[in-house]
Structure 1
Amino acid sequence: MFFSPSSDVQPALKPNDKTTTPLKIGVYDPKKLLVENESVHVEHLFTDLGAIQNGSFEKEFNDVLSRNHDVIVTFEPWKDTYARKDTNVLLNTLHGVYDKEFSKLYTLISATNQTVYLRFAHEMEIPIYRYSWQSQDPALYIKAFRYFMFFDKNHASNVKKVWGPAGDRGSMEWWPGDDAVDYISIAIYGLPDKNITDPAQQETFRRIYDRKSYRMRFANKPFFITEFGVKGPEAYQQKWLEDAAITINQHPEIAGVCYFNLMDNPKVWGNISPPNWSISPKSLSHFVQLIANKRLAMN
């Protein structure tokens, strides 16, 4: 997760009145501190080639299903335990190198009545190399994305295709086509720069959403914000989440949101402490209640 500068803020999108389904509330919560909250409908799992190969994804997936929750599956096409030599994962995808893993993944996620929001090779447009599919040719990425999303010839109706840019400038160069996307996912984290240590200097949810959604304005797809978070003292987190709740309620094109309840990966933050996005169950309940109360008033 990295963040774009705020120099090109644009007016908010007009709400899309085509989206009328209830808001989905989700969490990425590996420590299982929030998943038992009755407002949680969705859980987010990140998986890769190795987790498909060794069966750990299947175990995690079934654990979520046991709670009758829908699942966001972010599939990262790397960390292959077979040590295949070609490291260009997008070309590998197109050449069928991972077909066995793709087949196993689709067999698992299509054998349930729960909805699965499937996201592939996210945040591809950021000009860094945190993930091996970043900073690649957009045309290559698009071909790989479409190959993966149309891999299942049975077209399981419970699987929804999610295109997940960070939402940075130029994101639409990686747009894979209307038929390959059911939802757009963008990342919304309050921290605009890793060198900022004062929580109060974080951007609001509204400001980030307005900027990033504006960049997607020609796609005409609902949003599922599969990652969002804020760091800092609990009082500040609650204030930030209050703004998020108001913004979400004003934008019915947002079909779902999923809070990232964990510290970020320390390996990508150098010599400084990684941001900890974790919130308390109390803060989650407060956020959800604000959404519910506002929606009730609107109806």
Structure 2
Amino acid sequence: MSSLFTCLAFPVLAAPPGELPFGVYDPNGGFTNDTDVQIEHLFLPWEDVFLPSLLDADSYALERGRSVLVTIEPWTWTADERNTPEILIAGIANGTYDINIQAICGVLNDFKSPVTIRWAQEMEDASGQFIWADWDPDIYISAYKRVVSTCREISDKFDYMWSPLGHEGLAEYFPGPDYTDIIGLSVFGLQAWEIDVLGQEQSFRDIFEPRYQRALQFGLPIAVAELGYVGSDSYVARWNNEVRQNLEDFPELQAVIYFNQQEVYPWPETDDLPDWQFPQNSLGTQAASLGR
């Protein structure tokens, strides 16, 4: 079984400048001592996991005055033991996986830190990365509602984040305001890929704004649940100065949460695994321009 919380000694890191609340997925502990971090992001599978280790994460967050965002992925992290989408869909519908969510929410109910639950993110992604993505929308919505309802039987103290990538068509997967407290979007900038595929590099606003506009229709607070950027020193500096500053025209944006880890899935149309971690995400001008 996998443990959920490992904190290693990494360089001492600081959040990008700004006033917008900032969070991190930071399994290597680079932001351990940054008092500007307000949200601790955890990822966990709902199979083959040692749930008591979650309590260590709660203690860690509580000591630092951070709330906790928990992304629950409905599979095992052991790739060769994962179910097919068909088995997962059937298992959720017939209650096979109720015990998984009951166990997780039972542990989360013991947290002293505030908890937001994010289940089966980026569901409109058609890349094949996740076994819960690109389902028939009605099937996904039914599964999402079952998970939330099952967790609510354990505790009424959690908030719930519905978290699409932000693509067109996301509204088809919206489970409704009774099952959603906040919307989480994903925003990643990869300079070399943008130049090669799109013809020019993108800013944070270039990627975030259309996704934000699509999410506004639901009338709920919005967060960037996963944020990352890799490129030249100047590219990274521009993103650093955009993600928490001068955002007055995004009044519903409540927080940005950085994914401070190397990518575990190949970037679309490449075999690359971008390393979003500070300071590795700053490649130097020459290397970034060459697409290395």
Of structures 1 and 2, the one with the larger relative CO (CA 8 A, separation 6+) is 1
* Matches of 1:172 and 1:37, distance apart in 2: 36
Amino acid of the structure 2 residue aligned with 1:71? V
User: Are residues 158 and 195 of structure 1, via their aligned partners in 2, closer, same or farther at CA, if it must alter by over 3 Å?
Assistant: same
* Matches of 2:191 and 2:174, distance apart in 1: 24
Name the structure 1 match of 2:227. Answer: 228
Name the structure 2 match of 1:37. Answer: 34
Amino acid of the structure 2 residue aligned with 1:187? S
Amino acid of the structure 2 residue aligned with 1:228? L
Amino acid of the structure 2 residue aligned with 1:79? T
* Matches of 2:20 and 2:180, distance apart in 1: 19
- Answer whether contact 1:86 1:92 (CA < 8 A) is retained: no
Q: SS of the residue aligned with 2:273?
A: coil
Question: For 1:126-141, what aligned pairs fall within 5 Å after superposition?
Answer: 126-141=125-140
- Answer whether contact 1:125 1:170 (CA < 8 A) is retained: yes
Q: CA deviation at 1:221?
A: 0.4
Amino acid of the structure 1 residue aligned with 2:94? H
- Answer whether contact 1:52 1:104 (CA < 8 A) is retained: no
Amino acid of the structure 1 residue aligned with 2:221? P
- Answer whether contact 1:222 1:255 (CA < 8 A) is retained: yes
Q: CA deviation at 1:149?
A: 1.1
* Matches of 2:52 and 2:269, distance apart in 1: 32
Amino acid of the structure 1 residue aligned with 2:37? V
* Matches of 1:152 and 1:196, distance apart in 2: 44
CA RMSD in angstroms comes to 3.1
- Answer whether contact 2:114 2:158 (CA < 8 A) is retained: yes
Q: CA deviation at 1:125?
A: 0.5
Using the TM superposition, name which of 125-134 and 196-205 deviates more.
196-205
Name the structure 2 match of 1:260. Answer: 259
Name the structure 2 match of 1:4. Answer: none
Name the structure 2 match of 1:190. Answer: 189
- Answer whether contact 1:53 1:101 (CA < 8 A) is retained: no
* Matches of 1:170 and 1:141, distance apart in 2: 14
* Identity rate, percent: 26
Q: CA deviation at 1:144?
A: 0.4
Using the TM superposition, name which of 178-187 and 193-202 deviates more.
193-202
Q: SS of the residue aligned with 1:89?
A: helix
Question: For 1:174-185, what aligned pairs fall within 5 Å after superposition?
Answer: 174-185=173-184
Q: SS of the residue aligned with 1:230?
A: strand
* Matches of 1:192 and 1:234, distance apart in 2: 11
Q: CA deviation at 1:153?
A: 3.7
Question: For 1:63-212, what aligned pairs fall within 5 Å after superposition?
Answer: 63-79=60-76, 87-154=86-153, 156-191=155-190, 194=193, 196=195, 201-212=200-211
1:24 aligns with 2:17: no
Amino acid of the structure 2 residue aligned with 1:103? Q
TM-superposition CA deviations, 1:161-217 (whole Å, max 9, x none): 100000011010001011110000000112388475699943111122210011122
* Matches of 1:189 and 1:39, distance apart in 2: 21
User: Are residues 142 and 260 of structure 1, via their aligned partners in 2, closer, same or farther at CA, if it must alter by over 3 Å?
Assistant: same
Using the TM superposition, name which of 94-103 and 135-144 deviates more.
94-103
Aligned residues: 261
Name the structure 2 match of 1:47. Answer: 44
Q: SS of the residue aligned with 2:37?
A: coil
Q: SS of the residue aligned with 1:37?
A: coil
Name the structure 2 match of 1:238. Answer: 237
- Answer whether contact 1:27 1:261 (CA < 8 A) is retained: yes
Q: CA deviation at 1:260?
A: 1.1
User: Are residues 181 and 266 of structure 1, via their aligned partners in 2, closer, same or farther at CA, if it must alter by over 3 Å?
Assistant: closer
Using the TM superposition, name which of 177-186 and 261-270 deviates more.
261-270
What are structure 2's unaligned runs of at least 5 residues?
1-18, 283-292
Amino acid of the structure 2 residue aligned with 1:28? Y
What are structure 1's unaligned runs of at least 5 residues?
1-21, 284-299
TM-score, normalization by structure 2: 0.78
Q: SS of the residue aligned with 1:71?
A: strand
Name the structure 2 match of 1:278. Answer: 277
Amino acid of the structure 1 residue aligned with 2:72? F
Q: SS of the residue aligned with 2:130?
A: coil
* Matches of 2:53 and 2:74, distance apart in 1: 15
* Matches of 1:175 and 1:231, distance apart in 2: 30
